[in-house]
Amino acid sequence: MEIEFVAANAALGAGSALALVVFEGEAASLEGGTFASVVGASRFTGAKGQSLEVPAFAGSARTVLIGGGKAAEFDDLAAENTAASAYTALKLCGLSELRIRMPSRPALGAFGVRLASYRFDKYRTKEAAEKKPSVIKVSIEAADPTEASEAFAPLSALANAISFSRDLVSEPPNVLYPAEFARRVKALEVLGLEVEILGEAEMAALGMGSLLGVGQGSVRESQLAILRWNGADDKSAQPVAFVGKGVCFDTGGISLKPADGMEDMKWDMGGAGAVAGLMHVLAGRKAKVNAVGILGLVENMPDGNAQRPGDVVTSMSGQTIEIINTDAEGRLVLADAVWYCQDRFKPKFMVDLATLTGAIIIALGNDYAGLFSNNDELSENLLAASKAEAEPLWRLPLPAQYDKNIDSAIADMKNTGGRPGGSITAAMFIQRFVNKVPWAHLDIASTAWKKPSTVPTIPDGATGFGVRLLNRMVADRYEG
Protein backbone atom coordinates (compact mmCIF):
# COMPACT_ATOMS: atom_id res chain seq x y z
CA MET A 1 0.00 0.00 0.00
CA GLU A 2 1.46 3.29 -1.13
CA ILE A 3 0.36 6.36 0.82
CA GLU A 4 1.03 9.99 0.05
CA PHE A 5 -0.15 13.36 1.26
CA VAL A 6 -1.22 15.92 -1.32
CA ALA A 7 -2.40 19.52 -1.16
CA ALA A 8 -6.09 20.21 -0.60
CA ASN A 9 -8.07 19.94 -3.85
CA ALA A 10 -4.98 18.71 -5.78
CA ALA A 11 -5.94 17.39 -9.22
CA LEU A 12 -6.88 13.70 -9.27
CA GLY A 13 -5.09 11.12 -11.41
CA ALA A 14 -7.27 9.78 -14.22
CA GLY A 15 -9.38 6.89 -13.04
CA SER A 16 -9.12 7.66 -9.31
CA ALA A 17 -11.83 7.05 -6.76
CA LEU A 18 -12.64 9.93 -4.43
CA ALA A 19 -13.88 9.62 -0.85
CA LEU A 20 -15.30 12.77 0.70
CA VAL A 21 -15.57 12.70 4.48
CA VAL A 22 -18.59 14.66 5.65
CA PHE A 23 -19.79 15.48 9.16
CA GLU A 24 -23.27 14.80 10.38
CA GLY A 25 -25.78 17.35 9.12
CA GLU A 26 -23.34 18.85 6.59
CA ALA A 27 -23.89 16.55 3.60
CA ALA A 28 -26.42 18.76 1.81
CA SER A 29 -24.12 21.79 1.91
CA LEU A 30 -20.92 19.90 1.05
CA GLU A 31 -18.90 21.33 -1.90
CA GLY A 32 -21.35 24.22 -2.36
CA GLY A 33 -24.41 21.99 -2.29
CA THR A 34 -23.29 19.80 -5.21
CA PHE A 35 -24.76 16.68 -3.62
CA ALA A 36 -27.87 18.21 -2.04
CA SER A 37 -30.41 16.46 -4.24
CA VAL A 38 -28.88 12.98 -4.12
CA VAL A 39 -28.33 13.31 -0.37
CA GLY A 40 -31.93 14.48 0.00
CA ALA A 41 -33.10 11.36 -1.80
CA SER A 42 -31.15 9.09 0.58
CA ARG A 43 -30.86 8.28 4.27
CA PHE A 44 -27.27 9.50 4.38
CA THR A 45 -26.75 11.99 7.22
CA GLY A 46 -22.98 11.82 7.67
CA ALA A 47 -23.26 9.60 10.75
CA LYS A 48 -20.34 7.29 11.56
CA GLY A 49 -20.27 4.16 9.43
CA GLN A 50 -22.48 5.54 6.62
CA SER A 51 -21.47 5.83 2.98
CA LEU A 52 -23.23 6.99 -0.17
CA GLU A 53 -22.14 6.71 -3.78
CA VAL A 54 -22.79 10.01 -5.59
CA PRO A 55 -22.19 11.16 -9.19
CA ALA A 56 -18.48 11.31 -9.98
CA PHE A 57 -17.03 14.61 -8.86
CA ALA A 58 -13.92 16.74 -9.36
CA GLY A 59 -12.41 14.62 -12.14
CA SER A 60 -12.71 11.35 -10.23
CA ALA A 61 -14.04 8.17 -11.84
CA ARG A 62 -16.23 7.47 -8.80
CA THR A 63 -17.12 9.47 -5.72
CA VAL A 64 -18.38 8.23 -2.36
CA LEU A 65 -19.45 10.26 0.66
CA ILE A 66 -18.22 8.81 3.97
CA GLY A 67 -19.87 9.64 7.29
CA GLY A 68 -17.43 11.37 9.65
CA GLY A 69 -19.83 11.52 12.60
CA LYS A 70 -20.32 14.67 14.67
CA ALA A 71 -17.83 17.45 13.89
CA ALA A 72 -17.22 18.11 17.61
CA GLU A 73 -16.32 14.45 18.19
CA PHE A 74 -13.82 14.16 15.32
CA ASP A 75 -10.76 13.24 17.39
CA ASP A 76 -7.69 11.15 16.47
CA LEU A 77 -9.54 7.84 16.79
CA ALA A 78 -12.50 9.10 14.74
CA ALA A 79 -10.17 10.34 11.99
CA GLU A 80 -8.38 7.01 11.92
CA ASN A 81 -11.61 4.99 11.83
CA THR A 82 -13.27 7.20 9.22
CA ALA A 83 -10.35 6.94 6.78
CA ALA A 84 -10.23 3.19 7.46
CA SER A 85 -13.94 2.99 6.57
CA ALA A 86 -13.33 5.01 3.39
CA TYR A 87 -10.62 2.56 2.33
CA THR A 88 -12.76 -0.46 3.20
CA ALA A 89 -15.77 0.95 1.31
CA LEU A 90 -13.71 1.38 -1.86
CA LYS A 91 -10.92 -1.20 -1.66
CA LEU A 92 -12.69 -3.62 -4.05
CA CYS A 93 -14.09 -0.93 -6.38
CA GLY A 94 -11.91 -1.93 -9.34
CA LEU A 95 -9.88 1.30 -9.42
CA SER A 96 -6.27 1.36 -8.27
CA GLU A 97 -6.07 4.84 -6.77
CA LEU A 98 -8.09 6.32 -3.94
CA ARG A 99 -8.12 9.96 -2.89
CA ILE A 100 -9.40 10.83 0.57
CA ARG A 101 -10.55 14.36 1.35
CA MET A 102 -11.03 14.70 5.09
CA PRO A 103 -11.57 17.83 7.20
CA SER A 104 -8.47 17.42 9.43
CA ARG A 105 -5.90 14.97 10.90
CA PRO A 106 -4.61 13.51 7.60
CA ALA A 107 -1.78 11.62 9.37
CA LEU A 108 -4.29 9.76 11.51
CA GLY A 109 -6.26 9.03 8.34
CA ALA A 110 -3.18 7.50 6.75
CA PHE A 111 -2.61 5.41 9.88
CA GLY A 112 -6.21 4.14 9.71
CA VAL A 113 -5.78 3.18 6.05
CA ARG A 114 -2.56 1.30 6.81
CA LEU A 115 -4.20 -0.70 9.59
CA ALA A 116 -7.36 -1.42 7.58
CA SER A 117 -5.41 -2.59 4.53
CA TYR A 118 -3.60 -5.36 6.46
CA ARG A 119 -4.08 -8.74 4.79
CA PHE A 120 -2.55 -12.15 5.46
CA ASP A 121 -2.82 -13.70 2.02
CA LYS A 122 0.55 -15.41 1.47
CA TYR A 123 -0.98 -18.89 1.40
CA ARG A 124 -3.74 -18.11 -1.12
CA THR A 125 -2.83 -19.26 -4.60
CA LYS A 126 -6.24 -19.15 -6.27
CA GLU A 127 -8.04 -16.08 -4.99
CA ALA A 128 -10.34 -14.64 -7.65
CA ALA A 129 -9.11 -11.27 -8.93
CA GLU A 130 -12.38 -9.54 -8.00
CA LYS A 131 -11.94 -10.55 -4.36
CA LYS A 132 -8.54 -8.92 -4.09
CA PRO A 133 -8.36 -5.22 -3.21
CA SER A 134 -7.90 -3.13 -6.35
CA VAL A 135 -6.78 0.00 -4.50
CA ILE A 136 -2.98 0.03 -4.20
CA LYS A 137 -2.37 3.73 -3.77
CA VAL A 138 -4.06 6.16 -1.40
CA SER A 139 -3.51 9.91 -1.44
CA ILE A 140 -4.79 11.97 1.44
CA GLU A 141 -5.41 15.69 1.18
CA ALA A 142 -3.67 17.83 3.77
CA ALA A 143 -3.52 21.57 4.44
CA ASP A 144 0.24 21.08 4.86
CA PRO A 145 1.43 17.82 3.23
CA THR A 146 4.96 18.12 4.67
CA GLU A 147 3.66 18.52 8.19
CA ALA A 148 1.32 15.57 7.63
CA SER A 149 4.12 13.27 6.52
CA GLU A 150 6.19 14.26 9.54
CA ALA A 151 3.26 13.51 11.84
CA PHE A 152 2.77 10.20 10.04
CA ALA A 153 6.36 8.93 10.59
CA PRO A 154 5.87 7.51 14.13
CA LEU A 155 2.42 6.23 13.17
CA SER A 156 3.90 4.48 10.17
CA ALA A 157 6.44 2.80 12.49
CA LEU A 158 3.52 1.72 14.68
CA ALA A 159 1.57 0.35 11.70
CA ASN A 160 4.66 -1.63 10.59
CA ALA A 161 4.96 -3.11 14.08
CA ILE A 162 1.28 -4.03 14.25
CA SER A 163 1.54 -5.75 10.85
CA PHE A 164 4.60 -7.66 12.08
CA SER A 165 2.68 -8.77 15.16
CA ARG A 166 -0.42 -9.73 13.13
CA ASP A 167 1.75 -11.78 10.75
CA LEU A 168 3.27 -13.75 13.65
CA VAL A 169 -0.15 -14.49 15.11
CA SER A 170 -1.65 -15.45 11.73
CA GLU A 171 1.10 -17.86 10.67
CA PRO A 172 0.11 -21.52 10.83
CA PRO A 173 1.73 -23.56 13.60
CA ASN A 174 3.68 -25.83 11.24
CA VAL A 175 5.47 -22.72 9.98
CA LEU A 176 5.77 -20.67 13.16
CA TYR A 177 7.21 -23.00 15.81
CA PRO A 178 9.47 -21.71 18.60
CA ALA A 179 12.76 -21.69 16.66
CA GLU A 180 11.13 -19.96 13.67
CA PHE A 181 9.55 -17.35 15.96
CA ALA A 182 13.01 -16.81 17.47
CA ARG A 183 14.53 -16.38 13.99
CA ARG A 184 11.95 -13.76 13.09
CA VAL A 185 12.67 -11.69 16.18
CA LYS A 186 16.43 -12.15 15.74
CA ALA A 187 15.95 -10.50 12.34
CA LEU A 188 14.74 -7.36 14.13
CA GLU A 189 18.38 -6.61 14.93
CA VAL A 190 18.37 -4.58 11.70
CA LEU A 191 16.18 -2.06 13.57
CA GLY A 192 18.83 -1.70 16.28
CA LEU A 193 17.42 -4.17 18.81
CA GLU A 194 19.75 -6.55 20.65
CA VAL A 195 18.33 -10.07 20.54
CA GLU A 196 19.53 -13.12 22.47
CA ILE A 197 18.03 -16.58 22.03
CA LEU A 198 18.34 -19.26 24.70
CA GLY A 199 17.74 -22.93 23.83
CA GLU A 200 16.74 -25.81 26.09
CA ALA A 201 20.26 -26.54 27.39
CA GLU A 202 20.73 -22.93 28.48
CA MET A 203 17.30 -22.80 30.11
CA ALA A 204 17.98 -26.10 31.90
CA ALA A 205 21.19 -24.62 33.27
CA LEU A 206 19.13 -21.69 34.62
CA GLY A 207 16.73 -24.13 36.29
CA MET A 208 13.66 -23.29 34.20
CA GLY A 209 11.88 -26.56 34.91
CA SER A 210 8.44 -24.99 34.70
CA LEU A 211 8.78 -23.64 31.14
CA LEU A 212 10.74 -26.68 29.94
CA GLY A 213 8.10 -29.10 31.26
CA VAL A 214 5.54 -27.58 28.89
CA GLY A 215 7.72 -28.07 25.81
CA GLN A 216 9.04 -31.51 26.68
CA GLY A 217 6.40 -33.37 24.66
CA SER A 218 7.23 -31.45 21.49
CA VAL A 219 9.88 -32.28 18.89
CA ARG A 220 10.31 -28.52 18.47
CA GLU A 221 12.91 -27.05 20.80
CA SER A 222 11.67 -24.50 23.35
CA GLN A 223 13.25 -21.06 23.16
CA LEU A 224 13.53 -17.96 25.29
CA ALA A 225 13.96 -14.76 23.28
CA ILE A 226 15.35 -11.66 24.99
CA LEU A 227 14.92 -8.41 23.07
CA ARG A 228 16.51 -5.18 24.25
CA TRP A 229 16.09 -1.60 23.12
CA ASN A 230 18.41 0.89 24.79
CA GLY A 231 17.11 4.22 23.56
CA ALA A 232 17.38 6.29 26.75
CA ASP A 233 20.15 8.88 26.99
CA ASP A 234 21.32 7.05 30.12
CA LYS A 235 22.05 3.56 28.81
CA SER A 236 22.25 2.21 32.35
CA ALA A 237 18.81 3.56 33.37
CA GLN A 238 16.45 0.92 34.78
CA PRO A 239 14.46 -0.63 31.89
CA VAL A 240 10.74 -1.15 31.51
CA ALA A 241 9.96 -4.81 30.84
CA PHE A 242 7.38 -6.84 28.94
CA VAL A 243 6.93 -10.60 28.98
CA GLY A 244 4.87 -12.61 26.46
CA LYS A 245 3.32 -16.06 26.46
CA GLY A 246 4.46 -17.68 23.24
CA VAL A 247 2.74 -21.06 23.03
CA CYS A 248 3.11 -21.59 19.28
CA PHE A 249 0.50 -24.33 19.45
CA ASP A 250 -1.54 -25.45 22.44
CA THR A 251 -3.06 -28.91 22.07
CA GLY A 252 -3.59 -29.00 25.84
CA GLY A 253 -0.92 -31.70 26.09
CA ILE A 254 -1.97 -34.92 27.85
CA SER A 255 -5.02 -32.98 29.14
CA LEU A 256 -5.91 -32.83 25.44
CA LYS A 257 -8.32 -30.19 24.18
CA PRO A 258 -11.42 -31.21 22.19
CA ALA A 259 -11.02 -31.18 18.37
CA ASP A 260 -13.60 -28.44 17.77
CA GLY A 261 -11.77 -25.14 17.37
CA MET A 262 -8.39 -26.53 18.33
CA GLU A 263 -6.91 -24.86 15.24
CA ASP A 264 -7.46 -21.53 17.02
CA MET A 265 -4.65 -22.47 19.38
CA LYS A 266 -2.12 -21.40 16.75
CA TRP A 267 -2.68 -17.91 18.16
CA ASP A 268 -1.76 -18.94 21.68
CA MET A 269 1.44 -17.00 21.09
CA GLY A 270 -0.47 -13.70 20.87
CA GLY A 271 1.17 -12.36 24.04
CA ALA A 272 4.65 -12.95 22.63
CA GLY A 273 3.43 -11.52 19.31
CA ALA A 274 2.35 -8.31 21.04
CA VAL A 275 5.63 -7.95 22.94
CA ALA A 276 7.58 -8.53 19.70
CA GLY A 277 5.43 -5.86 18.02
CA LEU A 278 6.02 -3.44 20.88
CA MET A 279 9.81 -3.86 20.69
CA HIS A 280 9.53 -3.38 16.91
CA VAL A 281 7.82 0.00 17.27
CA LEU A 282 10.09 1.22 20.09
CA ALA A 283 13.09 0.59 17.85
CA GLY A 284 11.25 1.75 14.71
CA ARG A 285 10.53 5.17 16.17
CA LYS A 286 13.75 5.32 18.23
CA ALA A 287 11.93 5.68 21.54
CA LYS A 288 13.90 7.37 24.33
CA VAL A 289 13.56 4.51 26.76
CA ASN A 290 15.39 1.37 27.83
CA ALA A 291 13.07 -1.60 27.32
CA VAL A 292 13.29 -5.36 27.60
CA GLY A 293 10.99 -7.91 25.94
CA ILE A 294 11.07 -11.56 27.03
CA LEU A 295 9.28 -14.20 24.98
CA GLY A 296 8.67 -17.71 26.33
CA LEU A 297 8.35 -19.84 23.18
CA VAL A 298 7.12 -23.42 23.43
CA GLU A 299 4.79 -25.95 21.80
CA ASN A 300 2.38 -27.89 24.08
CA MET A 301 2.01 -31.41 22.64
CA PRO A 302 0.84 -34.83 23.88
CA ASP A 303 3.59 -37.40 23.45
CA GLY A 304 5.35 -40.30 25.13
CA ASN A 305 7.72 -37.77 26.63
CA ALA A 306 5.05 -35.20 27.50
CA GLN A 307 4.48 -33.87 30.99
CA ARG A 308 1.75 -35.73 32.96
CA PRO A 309 -0.96 -34.49 35.31
CA GLY A 310 0.54 -35.32 38.70
CA ASP A 311 4.11 -34.38 37.75
CA VAL A 312 5.95 -31.97 40.02
CA VAL A 313 8.35 -29.49 38.40
CA THR A 314 10.82 -27.05 39.94
CA SER A 315 10.76 -23.51 38.60
CA MET A 316 13.73 -21.15 38.30
CA SER A 317 12.50 -19.40 41.46
CA GLY A 318 13.03 -22.66 43.36
CA GLN A 319 9.30 -23.03 44.00
CA THR A 320 7.79 -26.40 43.09
CA ILE A 321 4.57 -26.85 41.09
CA GLU A 322 2.24 -29.83 40.97
CA ILE A 323 0.80 -30.16 37.46
CA ILE A 324 -2.94 -30.80 37.71
CA ASN A 325 -3.87 -29.96 34.12
CA THR A 326 -1.29 -29.83 31.34
CA ASP A 327 -3.59 -27.43 29.48
CA ALA A 328 -2.90 -24.73 32.08
CA GLU A 329 0.53 -24.32 30.45
CA GLY A 330 0.74 -20.58 29.81
CA ARG A 331 1.20 -19.76 33.48
CA LEU A 332 3.99 -22.38 33.66
CA VAL A 333 5.82 -20.65 30.83
CA LEU A 334 5.31 -17.22 32.39
CA ALA A 335 6.44 -18.38 35.85
CA ASP A 336 10.00 -18.83 34.58
CA ALA A 337 9.96 -16.01 32.01
CA VAL A 338 8.73 -13.46 34.58
CA TRP A 339 11.21 -14.66 37.21
CA TYR A 340 14.09 -14.48 34.74
CA CYS A 341 13.04 -10.99 33.71
CA GLN A 342 12.97 -9.46 37.21
CA ASP A 343 16.05 -11.42 38.35
CA ARG A 344 18.27 -10.37 35.47
CA PHE A 345 17.00 -6.89 34.55
CA LYS A 346 15.63 -5.41 37.82
CA PRO A 347 13.02 -3.52 35.78
CA LYS A 348 11.04 -0.41 36.76
CA PHE A 349 7.93 -2.47 36.16
CA MET A 350 6.94 -5.66 34.39
CA VAL A 351 3.86 -6.21 32.20
CA ASP A 352 3.07 -9.70 30.97
CA LEU A 353 0.67 -10.44 28.11
CA ALA A 354 -0.90 -13.84 27.58
CA THR A 355 -3.80 -15.62 25.91
CA LEU A 356 -4.10 -17.24 29.29
CA THR A 357 -7.67 -18.34 30.01
CA GLY A 358 -10.92 -19.16 28.23
CA ALA A 359 -12.57 -17.80 31.38
CA ILE A 360 -11.63 -14.21 30.50
CA ILE A 361 -13.81 -14.50 27.37
CA ILE A 362 -16.71 -15.65 29.56
CA ALA A 363 -16.10 -12.77 31.99
CA LEU A 364 -15.51 -9.89 29.58
CA GLY A 365 -16.63 -10.96 26.09
CA ASN A 366 -14.48 -10.25 23.05
CA ASP A 367 -13.89 -6.51 23.32
CA TYR A 368 -12.05 -6.24 26.65
CA ALA A 369 -8.84 -7.82 27.88
CA GLY A 370 -8.40 -8.49 31.60
CA LEU A 371 -5.98 -6.39 33.64
CA PHE A 372 -4.56 -7.68 36.92
CA SER A 373 -1.96 -5.77 38.91
CA ASN A 374 -0.23 -5.37 42.24
CA ASN A 375 0.21 -1.63 41.59
CA ASP A 376 -2.41 1.13 41.20
CA GLU A 377 -0.17 3.61 39.41
CA LEU A 378 0.86 1.11 36.76
CA SER A 379 -2.78 0.10 36.36
CA GLU A 380 -3.88 3.71 35.91
CA ASN A 381 -1.18 4.26 33.29
CA LEU A 382 -2.28 1.15 31.42
CA LEU A 383 -5.96 2.10 31.60
CA ALA A 384 -5.28 5.63 30.33
CA ALA A 385 -3.27 4.32 27.38
CA SER A 386 -5.90 1.69 26.72
CA LYS A 387 -8.57 4.36 26.46
CA ALA A 388 -6.51 6.62 24.20
CA GLU A 389 -5.78 3.79 21.78
CA ALA A 390 -9.18 2.07 21.92
CA GLU A 391 -7.69 -1.20 23.14
CA PRO A 392 -10.08 -1.74 26.06
CA LEU A 393 -8.90 -3.17 29.39
CA TRP A 394 -10.94 -3.96 32.48
CA ARG A 395 -9.25 -4.35 35.84
CA LEU A 396 -10.11 -7.42 37.90
CA PRO A 397 -9.10 -8.10 41.51
CA LEU A 398 -6.37 -10.30 43.00
CA PRO A 399 -8.12 -11.22 46.29
CA ALA A 400 -5.70 -12.64 48.86
CA GLN A 401 -8.33 -15.13 50.06
CA TYR A 402 -8.34 -16.84 46.62
CA ASP A 403 -4.64 -17.60 46.81
CA LYS A 404 -5.21 -20.80 48.78
CA ASN A 405 -7.07 -22.21 45.74
CA ILE A 406 -3.69 -22.92 44.16
CA ASP A 407 -2.11 -24.49 47.25
CA SER A 408 -1.01 -28.09 46.62
CA ALA A 409 -0.98 -31.03 49.02
CA ILE A 410 2.47 -32.15 47.91
CA ALA A 411 4.25 -29.14 46.36
CA ASP A 412 4.43 -25.34 46.84
CA MET A 413 1.47 -24.82 44.52
CA LYS A 414 -0.62 -26.44 41.83
CA ASN A 415 -1.21 -25.09 38.34
CA THR A 416 -5.02 -24.79 38.39
CA GLY A 417 -7.38 -23.27 40.90
CA GLY A 418 -10.72 -24.65 39.71
CA ARG A 419 -13.37 -23.10 37.45
CA PRO A 420 -14.66 -20.25 39.68
CA GLY A 421 -12.62 -17.12 39.01
CA GLY A 422 -10.39 -19.07 36.63
CA SER A 423 -8.75 -15.98 35.15
CA ILE A 424 -8.07 -14.60 38.64
CA THR A 425 -6.43 -17.72 40.04
CA ALA A 426 -4.34 -17.94 36.84
CA ALA A 427 -3.15 -14.37 37.47
CA MET A 428 -2.49 -15.20 41.13
CA PHE A 429 -0.35 -18.12 40.04
CA ILE A 430 1.86 -15.74 38.04
CA GLN A 431 1.89 -13.34 41.00
CA ARG A 432 3.62 -16.01 43.08
CA PHE A 433 6.65 -15.48 40.81
CA VAL A 434 6.68 -11.70 41.13
CA ASN A 435 8.75 -10.08 43.87
CA LYS A 436 8.38 -6.46 44.96
CA VAL A 437 8.41 -5.02 41.43
CA PRO A 438 5.27 -3.27 40.09
CA TRP A 439 3.64 -5.85 37.83
CA ALA A 440 0.59 -6.14 35.61
CA HIS A 441 -0.82 -9.10 33.77
CA LEU A 442 -2.99 -8.68 30.65
CA ASP A 443 -5.13 -11.70 29.80
CA ILE A 444 -5.67 -11.16 26.07
CA ALA A 445 -7.33 -14.49 25.24
CA SER A 446 -10.46 -12.41 24.53
CA THR A 447 -8.88 -9.87 22.17
CA ALA A 448 -5.90 -11.38 20.31
CA TRP A 449 -8.09 -12.63 17.47
CA LYS A 450 -11.38 -11.26 16.14
CA LYS A 451 -13.81 -12.90 13.78
CA PRO A 452 -15.84 -11.01 12.83
CA SER A 453 -14.09 -7.78 13.66
CA THR A 454 -16.16 -4.79 14.74
CA VAL A 455 -13.56 -2.06 14.20
CA PRO A 456 -12.65 -0.63 10.76
CA THR A 457 -8.92 -0.58 11.56
CA ILE A 458 -8.85 -4.28 12.47
CA PRO A 459 -9.56 -6.72 9.63
CA ASP A 460 -10.84 -10.17 10.65
CA GLY A 461 -8.19 -12.32 12.32
CA ALA A 462 -5.10 -11.32 14.29
CA THR A 463 -5.59 -7.93 15.94
CA GLY A 464 -2.12 -7.07 17.25
CA PHE A 465 -3.89 -6.14 20.51
CA GLY A 466 -1.52 -4.65 23.07
CA VAL A 467 1.04 -3.09 20.72
CA ARG A 468 -0.78 0.24 20.52
CA LEU A 469 -1.62 0.57 24.17
CA LEU A 470 1.84 -0.36 25.45
CA ASN A 471 3.53 1.89 22.90
CA ARG A 472 1.28 4.74 24.05
CA MET A 473 1.95 4.08 27.74
CA VAL A 474 5.71 4.06 27.17
CA ALA A 475 5.53 7.23 25.05
CA ASP A 476 3.31 9.14 27.49
CA ARG A 477 4.82 8.06 30.83
CA TYR A 478 8.25 6.53 30.53
CA GLU A 479 10.19 8.37 27.82
CA GLY A 480 12.57 11.27 28.00
How many other C-beta atoms are found inside a 10 Å radius of the C-beta of residue 453? Answer: 14
Q: Which of 303, 293, 220 is nearest to 256 (CA)?
A: 303
Single residue of 268, 311, 336, 352 touching ligand BES by CB under 6 A: 268
Select 39 or 334, whichever has its Cβ closest to ligand BES: 334
Select 67 or 330, whichever has its Cβ closest to Zn ion: 330
Q: How far is the CB of 269 from Mn ion (least distance, A)?
A: 12
State the Cα–Cα distance between residues 469 and 480, nearest whole angstrom: 18
Single residue of 327, 352, 391, 443 touching Mn ion by CB under 5 A: 327
Are the beta carbons of 461 and 162 closer than 8 angstroms? no
Select 200 or 250, whichever has its Cβ closest to Mn ion: 250
Residue 171 contacts Mn ion per CB under 5 A: no
Q: Contacts with Zn ion in 250-279 (CB under 5 A)? A: 250, 268
x/- site string to Mn ion, residues 244 to 273, per CB under 5 A?
------x-----------------------
Residue 327 contacts ligand BES per CB under 6 A: yes
Q: Is 228 a catalytic residue?
A: no
Question: How many residues interact with Mn ion (rule CB under 5 A)?
Answer: 3
**3-state secondary structure (DSSP) of residue 200:** helix
Buried b (16+ CB within 10 A) or exposed e, 350-387: bbbbbbbbebbbebbeeebbbbbbbeeebbebbbebbe
Backbone torsion region of residue 69, taken as left when φ is above 0, otherwise alpha when ψ lies between -120 and 50, otherwise beta: left
Residue 330 contacts Zn ion per CB under 5 A: yes
Select 134 or 366, whichever has its Cβ closest to ligand BES: 366
Q: How far is the CB of 411 from ligand BES (least distance, A)?
A: 17
Q: Is 331 a catalytic residue?
A: yes
Single residue of 290, 317, 342, 357 touching ligand BES by CB under 6 A: 357
Taking contact as CB under 5 A, which single stretch among the options 39-47, 130-138, 320-328, 434-442 is the one that binds Mn ion? 320-328
x/- site string to Zn ion, residues 233 to 252, per CB under 5 A?
--------------x--x--
DSSP 159-173: HHHHHHHHHHHHS-T
Q: How far is the CB of 339 from Mn ion (least distance, A)?
A: 20
Select 268 or 389, whichever has its Cβ closest to Zn ion: 268
Taking contact as CB under 5 A, which single stretch among the options 33-41, 138-146, 319-327, 444-452 is the one that binds Mn ion? 319-327
State the Cα–Cα distance between residues 11 and 195, nearest whole angstrom: 47
Which residues, 6+ apart, have CB-to-CB distance to 41 below 8 Å? none
* Residue among 257, 348, 387, 395 flagged as catalytic: 257
Q: How far is the CB of 250 from ligand BES (least distance, A)?
A: 5
Are the beta carbons of 223 and 197 closer than 8 angstroms? yes
Select 307 or 416, whichever has its Cβ closest to ligand BES: 416
Question: How many residues interact with ligand BES (rule CB under 6 A)?
Answer: 15
Q: How far is the CB of 265 from Zn ion (least distance, A)?
A: 7
Number of H helices, E strands in the chain: 14, 19
Single-letter amino acid, residue 391:
E
Are the beta carbons of 107 and 151 closer than 8 angstroms? yes
State the Cα–Cα distance between residues 84 and 91, nearest whole angstrom: 10
Evaluated on CA atoms 18, 23, 26, 28, the torsion sign reads positive
From Mn ion, ligand BES, Zn ion, none, interface partner of 393 (C-beta below 5 to 8 A by class)? none
Q: Which of 340, 265, 336, 260 is nearest to 300 (CA)?
A: 265
Cis peptide before 172 (omega within 30 of 0): no
DSSP 131-167: GS----EEEEEESSHHHHHHHHHHHHHHHHHHHHHHH
319 DSSP 8-state letter: -
* Residue among 91, 220, 331, 472 flagged as catalytic: 331
C-alpha pair distances (Å), 442 with each of 393, 423, 448: 8, 10, 11
Residue nearest to Zn ion (CB): 250
Q: Which parts of this chain interact with Zn ion (CB under 5 A)?
A: 247, 250, 268, 330
Q: Which parts of this chain interact with ligand BES (CB under 6 A)?
A: 250, 268, 325, 327-330, 355-359, 416, 422, 445
Residues catalogued as catalytic: 257, 331
Q: Which parts of this chain interact with Mn ion (CB under 5 A)?
A: 250, 327, 329
